[in-house]
Amino acid sequence: MVRRLHRRAVAVGHLTLPAVPSMIDEYVTMCGAIVAGLGVQFTPEQCAQLKGLLAEQLAEAYAASSRSNVVISFHKPFGTVVNYRVKAEWQTVQNAYDQWFAIREPPFFGTEPDARVWALSGETADPHTHRVLDIGAGSGRNALALARRGHPVDAVEMAPKFAHMIRLEAERQALDVRVIERDIFAIGDDLARDYQLIVASEVVPDFRDTRQLREMFELAARRLAPGGHLVFNAFLPRRGYIPDDAARELGAQCNTMIFTRDEMAGAAGSLPLRLVADDPAYEYEKTHLPESAWPPTRWYAHWATGLDLFDVERDESPIELRWLVYQKADGEPRPGADSGTGSR
């Protein structure tokens, strides 16, 4: 009777999952559990066929964007058969942030500038001569605050809605902020070569490989004045953890891309940039932000300690967000073209 009941069931549904090719066995297991609940058991041949379809679509989706999914649609008609389809879907990082802008309420990234950025910029005696480049400026949280302090600021943001927000607020407050609406690493000659500070806050976690890290370091080496600083945050392993492909791929989907310290050192290799500070972001921001501004957002503490990727207790997370500060020495970097990826 139970078997007859299952055969009379009709089911239609969709399973949407982020595209993580190295976790393909988990996708097969999920699908098997769904159809088993409907009274259908996949044969080994059917499992192999499903895995082949998943592998193809997962690879396509992940290669296209870190904002990508596979959608598994299934239909169980009357009887013992389940029909399914696997389809890759994706959007650009720029479109993802435009959509994010439309559905979330401000402040999007907090009301105060990053404490690490604020402290570093405050080391200069005269901010009016301390030009700043803010890469992936987002809603302008850092760029506008630095301009209010007196810094001339170039804010680069590729998401049109965020760029428009910065531009309007800078005009309203009569601030020295030049908004550049484009991919920071696209070829262009609209950037200065004498920045005293380059900021890339919450940008590197959206990178996908060490090539993009190298491009960021090369840009900093070309655009910083001697003695100037590059400050950015990035997820690094701790306690000897070595990330595998699955961790990197799911991390890319969660704005939590992981790079090792060896990869950081290799990406900055041969360039006139020296690491001068390395601080845990969660502890630094909690300690130095005004009490009323902590946490910056509801999601910050969870994200900065790696819990968007690892479902564990905070002190068990094998990664953490860290603030890294590099200083440019005298000398010129090796030639190279500005090219690469997006920002936030």
Amino acid at 66: S
Q: Give the range among 69-73, 161-165, 188-192 with minimum mean pLDDT.
A: 188-192
Q: Which of 80, 64, 63 is nearest to 5 (CA)?
A: 80
Strands (E) located in the chain: 11-18, 68-76, 83-90, 132-135, 153-156, 177-180, 195-200, 224-237, 273-280, 319-328
pLDDT at res. 337: 40
Rounded Cα distance between 243 and 174, Å, is 46
- Write the pLDDT tens digit of every residue in 214-244: 999 999 999 999 999 999 999 999 988 999 9
**Where in the chain are all domains bearing CATH 3.30.565.10?**
1-90
Q: What are phi and psi of 322, to 5 degrees?
A: -130, 145
Average pLDDT over residues 279-283: 98
pLDDT at res. 315: 94
Question: Is the whole model's pTM more than 0.85, yes or no?
Answer: yes
Rounded Cα distance between 17 and 214, Å, is 30
Q: Is the pLDDT of residue 100 over 90?
A: no
Query: Under CATH, which architecture does the 1-90 domain have?
Result: 2-Layer Sandwich (3.30)
Q: Which CATH class is domain 94-328?
A: alpha beta
pLDDT at res. 104: 76
Residue located via tokens 């720029």: 94
SS3 250: helix
Q: Which of 158, 139, 147, 165 is nearest to 297 (CA)?
A: 139
Q: Give the range among 24-33, 303-312, 324-333 with minimum mean pLDDT.
A: 324-333
Rounded Cα distance between 111 and 298, Å, is 12
- Write the pLDDT tens digit of every residue in 5-32: 988 999 999 999 999 999 999 999 999 9
What rounded mean pLDDT belongs to the chain? 92
Confidence of residue 331 (pLDDT cuts 50, 70, 90): low
Q: Give the range among 22-26, 107-111, 335-339 with minimum mean pLDDT.
A: 335-339
pLDDT at res. 342: 40
Q: What are phi and psi of 175, to 5 degrees?
A: -100, 155
Rounded Cα distance between 167 and 105, Å, is 19
Q: Does residue 6 or residue 204 have the better pLDDT?
A: 204
Q: CB under 8 Å, gap of 24 or more: what pairs does 95-104 form? A: 95/67, 96/67, 97/159, 97/161, 97/162, 97/344, 98/159, 98/160, 98/161, 101/159, 101/161, 101/162, 102/161
DSSP string covering 55-96: HHHHHHHHHH-SSEEEEEEEEE-SSS--EEEEEEEE--HHHH
**Where in the chain are all domains bearing CATH 3.40.50.150?**
94-328
CB count within 10 Å of CB 11 equals 15
296 cis-preceded (ω within 30 degrees of 0)? no
Task: State the angle between helix axes of 160-173 and 93-103 in degrees (0 to 180), rounded to the nearest 10.
Answer: 60
Q: What are phi and psi of 6, to 5 degrees?
A: -60, -40
Rounded Cα distance between 60 and 44, Å, is 25
